[in-house]
Structures are given as C-alpha cells and as structure tokens.
Chains A and B, each alone.
Chain A
Amino acid sequence: MSQVLVVDDEPNILLSLEFLMQQAGFEVTTADDGESALERINAGLPDLLLLDISLPGISGFDVLERLRTAADTRHLPIIMLTAHGREVEREKGMALGANDYITKPFSTQALVEKVKALLAETDHGAP
C-alpha cells in the first residue's frame, strides 16, 4: 500500500484529504506545517507528498526546495496545493521541482486521479 503524506495547515482540508486518500486505498500520514512535514519525511520516506504552499513557518516552496536538494528525496513525487491559483505560482512550483499542481478548491476525483497517475509514473504502482 502506497504511503501519502498530506501537508496542510487547514485542519478541515487535512481531514478531508486524509479521508479521501484512505478511501482511495492509500496509507495516509499528515503534517500541519513545514517543519513537521520534514520531520515526518526524515522519519520515513512516503511514496508521495501532497504539499500546500501557504504554510506557517517555512513555506511549501521552501520544503519543496529542501527536498529537491537532498539526495534521498530528490525524486519523491510531490503535488503542490495552493489556494491562490495564480499562474506564476504554478510556474514557480514546477520550476522548483514539483511534479504536479492542484488549485484549491479541487475536485476530489481529479486529485485522486492525479495521485494515482503520478505514482504509476514513478513506478510505485496503484494501491
């Protein structure tokens, strides 16, 4: 079973995503800021990261950059989440190494499809 780490500071979103991912058959862990997300990843590498940009403390972009510069997380599949939905943010996320990008509010079905597709691409396989 693929493990997905969901990072968001919005408890409702975190709850929904956790529920949604579990429904889709993934093992889900959560973090509500950048620091704890990095700690979780250090403790055990997930198969995929759903990462919100606007986080208290270190931002999602910062987390993304740190993960991309570290050898063991360089290829970790990461989907960025943002509430702003500005073109330039999407571009920045992709430039810093995100694999995909989802704008809030999102269609749950679309999110699950993206996660599955990305895991398939990176050979982790569907749950």
Chain B
Amino acid sequence: MAHRDRRLPKHQRLIGLWLLLSGVSLLGGAIFAAWLDAQLGVGGWERAALWLGSFSGGATILLVGLALERMLFTPLRHLQAQLARLVASPDARNEHSPEGWLTGLGPDLARVRESWRADRGRLAQARSEGARDAAQIRQRLEALLQVLQTPLLLCDRHRRLLLLNTAAETFFEGHTGLGLGKRIDALLPATSLQNALTQLPADGTPRELLLPCDERWLKVTLRRLPESDGESLVTFTDATHAWSTEMGVRAGLSAQLAELRRQSASVTSAAEVLKTLGASDAESSTLRARLENAIDEDGLALGHSIAHMGRLIDDMQRQGEQLTPIWSNDFWQALDERLDPSRRLITPIGMPAWFNGDAPALIALLDSLLQHLEAHLPAGGFEGAGFEGEMGLGNKRVYLDMIWHGGPLPEGELARWQRQPLTTLPHSPTAAEVLRQHASDIWSLADAGGKRARIRLPLPAAERVGAPRRAVPPRPEFHDFGIANLPSPDEARAGLALRSLEIVAFDTETTGLALRRGDTVVSLGACRIVNARALASETFAQYVDPERPIPAESTAIHGITDADVAGAPLLATALEHFRHYVGDAVLLAHNASFDMLAISQQGAEFAMPVLDTLLISRALDEALDGHDLDSLARRYDITFPPGTRHTALGDARVTAALWLALLPRLEARGVDTLETLLALQANAIDVEDASAL
C-alpha cells in the first residue's frame, strides 16, 4: 500500500507558520495591551499608543511576511516553475517573466532560453545538413567509383573485399571469387599478392605485381589507405597486351633469325657454287645467271630482314621495363643534388617535360659526363659558369640538352667517354650501355652564334602531360564556407549584427607603459573572428624592433628580450603588414586606447571601428569589480595554454574568447548591432570620464 504523505506542502506550511506566528503575536499583543491598559489606566492618545505598540510586533511579522511572499517567494516559485518548463522544453510558453525582486534576471533568463532554443535548432539543422551532405558525398563517391574505368577493390586488413566498382565487376565477369565479404585470395590465389598486402607501406606508397589470372596477365597496383585500419586499395590493369607485345617482339626476332639463317645459307651456298663454276660454257652461264639472281634476291631479302630486326630491337629498347616517366625538373634537381657542391651549377631553362628513363642510371651517366666535360673541353672552351639544362620536344622523343658557354666537346672525346665504366652503378655498365638501354646516343654541337655549345641526349618521350601535382599542404584547422554568405564589407557596418562582424582581436607588447614618452611596440599579435567564431589558424604574430633596449622590468612581464627582436622589422613595416592582415575587419582589444595609441604612432591608418572588451564588460556589470583580462578570463571560465598570457598573440586570443563570452550577454540586452554596441561603449567611456573628474 502506498504511503500517503498527509503533511501539507512546504510553502503552505510556511504560510501557516507565518499566519500562526502573526496571530499569536497579535493575540499576545492584545492581551499585553489589555493588561497594561488595566494596570496603567491611561487614556487619550497614550492609550492609543499603548495598544498600537503592543500590536506592532505582530503587524511587522505579518507585513514582512506578506512582502517576502509577494516580492521574493512567489517570484522564486514562478522562476522555479519556469525553469522546470524550460528544462523540459525550450519552446514552452513564457508564463511568468521574473518579477518582484528578481526582475533583473529577466534579460539573462530570456537569453538562456533563446540560446538554448537557437542551439537546439542549429543542432537539428546541422544534423540534417550533415546527413544530407554525407548522403551527397556518398552518392558522388559511388557515382565516381562506378564510372571509373579502372577496376578497383578495397580490402580490409583480413583481405576481405569491402568495396568493388562496376569496372571490377566487368573485369572479373563470371569469376566466382568476386563478391563483397569474400577474401581476395579466392579471386587471385597468389602468395605474392597476400604477402604484398600484408607488407604494404603505411604511407600509401604503391607496390606493383604482375599476376596470371586465367588467360590474362594482370598488373596489380596495391596501396595501403593512409590512416586506415589496415585497408588496402587494389587496382588492376590487363597487361596481357603489353606482355604479348613484348612477346611479339621476341617471337618476331626468333622468326627473323630463322629467315636470316635461311637467306644467309642461300647466299653463302650460291657464292660457294659461283666460285667453283668452270669456264663460261653455255650450261655454266645459265647456272651463273641463276645463282647471281638468287644472290640478288636473297641479299635483298637479307637486307629487309635485318632492317626489320633493327626496328624490333629499337621497339624493345624503347619499351624497356626499367624506364619510368620522369619530370625533367625533378631530374635536374636530383642531378644537381648528386653533384659535388662545387659543381652545383645546373639551371633548368625552357619548358619542362616528361620523359622515360632509368633515373639512377641517367644521373650517374650525366654526373660522369659533367666531370668529363670539365676535364676535356678544349682550352678556354668551358668558362666554368655552370650549365643550363633544357628539354626539347621531338617526335616520340625529348632532347635533354646541357648547355654551357664555350665550344662543343669533340666527338672523339665523347666516344672515349662512352667507353668508360660508370662505377657508381651496379655491374659498372659503360656510358654506351646506358645510352643503349635508352635506345639513345649523345652528341655535342655548337649553338648558332658559336658562343655556346650543348650536349644533346635524346630520350623516349613519356605519354604524360602537365606538371606533377604539388604535395597538398595540410588542411587548415578550420573551414567556414559561411564566409561567402557574409554581407559585403562595403555595406554600412553600423547596422550589421555583431555576430556577422569580421573582427580582428589584437594586442601589443611594449617596452613600457609610457607610450607618449618614447615607449613603443616590441610584439604585435592578432587573431580573426568570423561568424562569431575565432579562427585558429588565421593569426598574426610579429616581433618588432623597437630601436631601443627593452627594459628588464618589461622583459619580466612579456619575456621578450633584445635578442628576440634583433633582426625583426621596424614598427612601420610591421604595421603595414598588420594593416593588410586587418583588411576590412573591425578592431577589438582589451583596454583598446592603449593598444590603439601603440599602433598609431607611425602614421598607419586604422580608421575602422574599435571595440574594447574592458569598456563593454564595465558597461554590462557596472556593479562588479575586476575588469582586467585575468579577472574576466576567470569570470567567464576562459582557459589558455600556460605561457601564452602576456604574449601578444596569446592575449589577443584571450580577448577574442572574452568577446565571444560577452556577445550573448550583449544580445540579451538588445545590443546586437555595431551601432548599439558603439553607443554602449561610448556611454561607458562617458561614465569613466565622469568618475575620473
């Protein structure tokens, strides 16, 4: 059985107690008055005063209680109810604004309610936008994967297929090993693939394998997805054609060799017979003619066969497996780094290009060539002013030219150099062998005009265009595409909402406080606030050479020494940079009059509105003490990394955080535009001036 509390509610009991106390006091007063009246027997106004005095205690209790109930207890109860409703739902109706002695809480309470309501709305909106964005990204990714013509698979660390695209389905059409969740081993049961997958570099560097699959040869490229849980991306190319092309060359060479043997045998035997032929009788004349004819025909066929073989060998060399695409600028740089520092003199000129080459072999080749050039150029031929590297584009070839001031290297020297072994390469191939590897040769020519000469090295062109992509710089910590929706900076700013203001919070560290007597800036720091958010990476921090020693007592505060500012720009230069940084933003500082004075000494023009968190805080909480940055940081629970207070950038960040804490309070009081805020601030200045008088 449920226990039933028979007691009255607490506040009713309190009221009962109060009424009882009042009644008892009044009754006691009446009895006391009656007794006194009887004892003293006074009359007239003395008797009235006696009775009033006796009733005063009870009356006071009754009236004080009544006042407390009306002005404090009832408003508190209403507030409690209102808060309870608010906790339950920010959309609940606002039945009771704070009243009685709690009326002052009205704006803050309304602000709490509005903020909560807005935050809830923003959260819901962000959630739905996030979901929509995620869905869009997924759709685009899926679409991209499906239209991508390269077959690709994504495997987890257990080699199970997590993703496959349409191209992969087409590529492995009918293969039972292909399917989500299946292991790649079922698709390609090769130990080398399994080993490669487990040993992939974590940074995403690709590894390549050539694997047989049914009737095909597959070139498989594997890479670990960086920052993933061991997931790997596998792409496939059908290398059968390339393979068979190479096989085709080999087969062609074999076939041509057989032909050559046949033709050579035919020519040799015909020649042998010709030698043995006797005098020129009729029979031998006929035979001689036939043999000569045979020699002619087979000789011609021999020529064709040899020419064909030459082309096949050229093709094979051009398709050399070790030749990889190289971007000429990368090559020049690698070559320059390889050279002796005293000979780091290669200046790439002209248009860079891709070419196919065995980079280490080419670098060793050119390194050796440069040494040879310096040693063997004709006296006075090389003026030692370094080389220029230029790429020329040709038909299926690019020309790697090394140019110098002086005469060309004689062909004989070049031929001698080609016979030298490149000892820095494995097996020490000769320069001629490296040239042959690239189906190339090398020659030296004087340029038109005769003042300069070049070495020309033709190399197979690579089928790539455009410069390699630069490494992407790390993403900034913060993106805000809402910036595009901000009003134009040209619009009148006075009516702009404080939230939409672009603000630069800044702070200066100085040699001392007497700015008008020669103290000046040693450090300037600032950060930017956009859409009521402080941008973490959009900062300005600059030491400034004060052109005077920094007093030890100032160094004790900000820690900046003369050594720190040695070589730093002068204030005028730093302010010019700062002015660019500020752009169209409004300035914000704590005790801005000091900092504005500090940055206005060199004639730099900062004509934009200036906000001051010191003045704003004073205007909001006139009755409170402690409006210095440290007190306010404590009041608004602003934390900052140790050691950053009293650095210009650190204080600028604290000022920005303080502004963001003050902003909702300003808005709650209807101060939500620049105009109204400047008015509030001006009022605070007036009050300050008045109190200073």
Contact = CB atoms under 8 A, between A and B. Distances in A.
Interface residues of A, number: 21
A61 B458 contact: no
Interface string A36-76: 00000000000000000000001101101100000000000
Interface in A59-106: 59, 61-62, 64-65, 84-89, 91-92, 95-96, 103-106
Contacts of A84: 310
A107 B303 contact: yes
A95 B397 CA distance: 15
Given A65-B410, A86-B439, A96-B445, A59 B415 contact: yes
Interface residues of B, number: 21
Contacts of A104: 303, 306
A107 B300 contact: yes
B299 interface: yes
A88 B458 contact: yes
Nearest to B396: A87
A61 B306 CA distance: 23
Contacts of B581: none
Nearest to B317: A86
Contact of B456 (A89, A95, A107): A95
Nearest to B445: A95
A116 B300 CA distance: 22
B495 to A, nearest CB: 74
Nearest to A84: B310
B443 A95 contact: yes
A95 to B, nearest CB: 6
B436 to A, nearest CB: 9
B441 A58 contact: no
Contacts of B303: 104-107
Interface string B383-399: 00000000000000100
Interface in B283-304: 299-300, 302-303
Contacts of A87: 314, 439
B441 A105 contact: no
Nearest to A63: B411
Contact of B441 (A64, A65, A89, A103): A89
A101 to B, nearest CB: 13
B411 A65 contact: yes
Nearest to A105: B303
B362 to A, nearest CB: 15
Interface string B411-425: 110010000000000
B307 interface: yes
B411 A88 contact: no
A91 B445 CA distance: 13
Contacts of B591: none
A105 B306 contact: yes
Interface string A2-40: 000000000000000000000000000000000000000
Interface string B426-455: 000000000000011111010000000000
Given A91-B458, A92-B441, A85 B307 contact: yes
A64 B412 CA distance: 11
B314 A86 contact: yes
Contacts of B456: 95
B310 A85 contact: yes
B443 A61 contact: yes
Residue of A85, A87, A92 with most partner-chain B CB within 10 A: A87
B415 A88 contact: no
Contacts of A95: 443, 445, 456
A62 B415 contact: yes
B310 A58 contact: no
B302 A88 contact: no
B440 A96 contact: no
Contacts of B412: 58-59, 62
Nearest to A91: B458
Contacts of B299: 105
A89 B440 CA distance: 8
Nearest to A103: B307
Given A86-B314, A91-B458, A105 B443 contact: no
Nearest to B410: A65
Nearest to B440: A88
Contacts of B411: 59, 61-62, 64-65, 96
Contacts of B442: 92
Nearest to B415: A59
B130 to A, nearest CB: 60
Contacts of B302: 105
Contacts of A86: 310, 314, 439, 441
A21 B236 CA distance: 59
A54 B168 CA distance: 53
A81 to B, nearest CB: 13
Contacts of B306: 85, 104-105
B432 to A, nearest CB: 12
A86 to B, nearest CB: 6
A96 B443 CA distance: 8
Nearest to B456: A95
Nearest to A83: B306
A87 B397 CA distance: 11
Contacts of A103: 307, 310
B428 to A, nearest CB: 23
Nearest to A86: B314
B168 to A, nearest CB: 40
B439 A88 contact: yes
A27 B458 CA distance: 38
A95 B441 CA distance: 12
Given A58-B412, A86-B314, 18 more contacts: A58-B415, A61-B415, A62-B410, A62-B415, A64-B411, A65-B411, A86-B310, A86-B439, A87-B439, A88-B440, A89-B441, A91-B441, A92-B442, A92-B443, A95-B445, A96-B445, A103-B307, A105-B303
Q: Which 5 pairs, one residue from A and one from B, show the smallest C-beta to C-beta distance?
A: A105-B303, A85-B310, A62-B411, A65-B411, A88-B441
Interface of A: 58-59, 61-62, 64-65, 84-89, 91-92, 95-96, 103-107
27 contacts: A58-B412, A58-B415, A59-B411, A59-B415, A62-B411, A62-B415, A84-B310, A85-B307, A85-B310, A86-B439, A86-B441, A87-B314, A88-B440, A88-B458, A89-B441, A91-B458, A92-B441, A92-B443, A95-B456, A103-B307, A103-B310, A104-B303, A104-B306, A105-B299, A105-B306, A107-B300, A107-B303
